Structure 1
Amino acid sequence: MVRDGWLLAEAERLGGRIEVERPAAGLIASMADLNGPGFDASQLDPLVRNFYEHTARWRMEAWTSWSPAFWPGGELVSRLFGKRVQQLALPMRPLDVAHGIDSRVSVILDIAGRQLGAAWLRTLRATGDYVFSGFYSVRSLPGADRPSVHVAFPLEAGNVQVFLRPYADDGALVLKSPRGRFGDDGAYVLVEDGGCSFAARVPVHESFRIYVDPGGVLRTDHVLQLWNTTAMRLHYKLERTD
């Protein structure tokens, strides 16, 4: 079962140590690690930056909406992975997330105490079932002019990896996995079979906009597309717990 069982193996692979549920841990140690041509973390609203650098201090409420044409496919993915391996359990109905989502952040540190990455484990508050279990880090693709947010979702025989390109827009953070060639930002599936690894780019494109609304509330709009068509929309309300 995937759940969070992959975390120890990832720490061993990176040669680091795990701090489970570290207080005030963030998905990204410093948003400045993403700086480069076209992105400057100092342009982000302080609340947006605080969420990514201290994710463990925040809780979330979520709303979901599926395109009717893609609902059967989403239900299939949820059944194949969500119930069986507690991963990629896509919320299919608004009531699935009506009681909110709980999250835990555990970090992997190197020998000097620097953050190599963070596991973000999200579960349904009502049932405790895992929704997503991902590993977040800052990575630069070969030939890229600046770093990307890299998210890996472990599966039984491989993983799904997403490279999200960051932008600052009037205080908001925009993350995109756009269309492109193999080796560009985007979504990939890695399968391991018989000691060999196989990777393919998949036509899944996501965009996230993390922003502060006029009332001072931190929110996120998440759009998932297959090819050129919107399959699902998620909206998150984020609140500090301290």
Structure 2
Amino acid sequence: MTEKYRIECIPNVSSADPDVLDKICAAIHAVPEVDLRFVDPGLSANRTVFTYIGPAEAVFEATQRLIETALACIDMRKHSGVHPRMGAIDVCPFVLLDDKKFQAAFLNAVDRFIEHMGTKGLPIYTYEYSARQPSRRNLAVVRKGEYEQLPSRFAQGDFPDVGPKIWNVATAKSGATAMGARPLMVAFNVNLSGGTKNELLLAAKKIAGRIRERDGGLPGVKSIGWYIPDLDVVQVSCNLT
């Protein structure tokens, strides 16, 4: 008998609309073995992070339900927010929670799920452990230019790894998704004070540029400096893997 192993999914959905979030939560709760741990909406970002865990197959089922619900509710042509994003389901990472002996099976299962969702019409750029092009391992590289640059990327042949490769009404509505397996991640955010908003934002962006790996900073660090209007704070936001 094949051993079950537990995984976590942390999809970032481009909406903070309570009605949309209720529908997505209902879709996740429809899968009995999945435990929805956190729902973290950001009003200024117009973005919500979901966190749920469970046996791998159950988590994949819940994720497909989440994706289908989000795509039905969100139109990226009308989306705005202060956080970088490129699709209705902007990023969809999977994390192995159990013993490393399951790593190979886990990575294969994520690849199969990516292929499956591509057949459902979702444009997917693979990243982290699942990256099919080495240059796309880093999420910041995958998402460069955000949603607004996707038509140009498609036109120039910078296509998703899986799913539609034509920019049309359907892909304009959905945008694209970064999906893949990754290690556990720690979010570490620092709010700045002691100056005007513009001074602090300049400092935050400078700090982020100095410390993130992509620009020659610390290994495993992704960082942005940004202003969050609904909290009225300037923040250096870091993801550590």
Shorter-chain TM-score above 0.5: no
Structure with greater helix percent: 2
Instruction: With the length of structure 1 as denominator, give the TM-score of the two structures.
Output: 0.29
Instruction: With the length of structure 2 as denominator, give the TM-score of the two structures.
Output: 0.29
Structure with greater strand percent: 1
